[in-house]
Amino acid sequence: MKGVFGDSQTIFGEALLNTILPSHTYGQVSGGLPEKIPDLSYRELKDFYKVHYSPDNAKFYSYGNLDLEGHLKEISNYLPNSKASNSNFSG
């Protein structure tokens, strides 16, 4: 982790993403700042994970001549507890 922050280009890239996407996953340093990690509580870690790594944040892309309703139902099998799986896919 500390090795990554030894490269000025990486530090700039992290700072840029943190600034332009503050409320997004990329607005955070994914591994945490080395000097701040000991201050993180287990509860804070779990809360962060729940917000940023939820299936509700997933994005699915498809293309081609597909049956859209069938495709969306298949995707919902992977998201059993998400808001998306409780949606009406038929419009």
Kindly state whether residue 45 falls inside one of the protein's structural domains.
no
Is the Cα torsion angle 47, 75, 29, 15 positive or negative in sign? negative
Residue 13, Cβ density class (10 Å: 0-12 exposed, 13-18 middle, ≥19 buried): exposed
Q: What percent of the chain has pLDDT over 70?
A: 80
Residue 30 pLDDT: 67
Domain count, the chain: 1
Kindly state whether residue 80 falls inside one of the protein's structural domains.
yes
Domain span at 68: 54-91
Angle value at C-alpha 32, between 30 and 33, nearest 5 degrees:
135
Burial 71-81 (b: 16+ CB within 10 A, else e): ebeeeeeebee
Kindly state whether residue 31 falls inside one of the protein's structural domains.
no
Query: Once rounded to an integer, what is the mean pLDDT over residues 60-64?
Result: 82
The CA distance from 85 to 58, in Å, is 12
